[in-house]
Amino acid sequence: MINETITSYRATLQLIVRATSDLGPRQWTVQPGGILNHPAWTMGHLVHSAQAIGCELGLSPWLPESWAKKFGTGSAPQVDGEICPSPTELESALVLAEQKVIERLQSMPANVLAGPLPDVRYREVFPSLGHAVVHILCAHTSFHAGQIMLWRRAMGLPTEPAL
């Protein structure tokens, strides 16, 4: 199941990168028609989420502490583009997060994922580490990819830019 999860995760991240590839620097933090989750926050949030699940997999945190406040659960997307990392920094952080989490997953024995989620706060929802990994990498990432497509539509952009 690890390979299937990785394939899905990679495909969704590629979609997100394509869906943001045609944006100008000022577009990344626009909130059209009441849509709060702009591309800068969404990408930063996915990087922060990758670190969170990476830590559950035994990785050490790699992001600056400021990312939790800007992009963690419960954070509010900011309209000021100066507060967010640049689009280039966001993409680089997404690539690094993808690499770290996938390398860790590929190096783990499958039976480890059958064990309990280390973070006891979420064990009722995710009874095993594997449940949390599949949710964060597949469902959560896809949910936010959909938000970017909705954001693009609200901006009057095609839902998927030309390849």
User: Nearest to residue 50, comparing CAs of 77, 90, 78, 88?
Assistant: 90
Each domain of the chain, given as residue ranges in start order, spans: 2-14+36-71+85-154
Q: Which of 39-53, 74-88, 91-105, 114-128 has the lowest mean pLDDT?
A: 74-88
User: Which residue carries 């583009």 as its tokens?
Assistant: 81
User: Nearest to residue 140, comparing CAs of 7, 70, 68, 47?
Assistant: 47
Q: From residue 154, how far is each of 13, 22, 43 by CA, in Å?
A: 21, 15, 18
Average pLDDT over residues 115-129: 93
pLDDT of residue 79: 80
pLDDT range class, residue 163, cuts 50, 70, 90: low
> CB 117: neighbour CB atoms within 10 A?
21
Whether 95 has a pLDDT exceeding 70, the answer reads: yes
Amino acid 4 reads: E
pLDDT range class, residue 161, cuts 50, 70, 90: low
pLDDT of residue 82: 67
Can you give the pTM of this predicted structure?
Answer: 0.94
For residue 163, give every residue at least 6 positions away whose Cβ sits within 8 Å of its Cβ, in sequence order, or none. Answer: 18
Q: Per-residue pLDDT tens for 58-77?
A: 999 999 999 999 999 989 89
- State the first-to-last Cα distance of the chain, in angstroms, to the nearest integer: 30
pLDDT of residue 14: 95
Are the C-beta atoms of residues 148 and 19 closer than 8 Å to each other?
yes
pLDDT of residue 84: 86
Are the C-beta atoms of residues 25 and 153 closer than 8 Å to each other?
no
- Exposure of 52 in the CB half-sphere (CA atoms within 13 A): 20
pLDDT of residue 59: 97
pLDDT of residue 76: 87
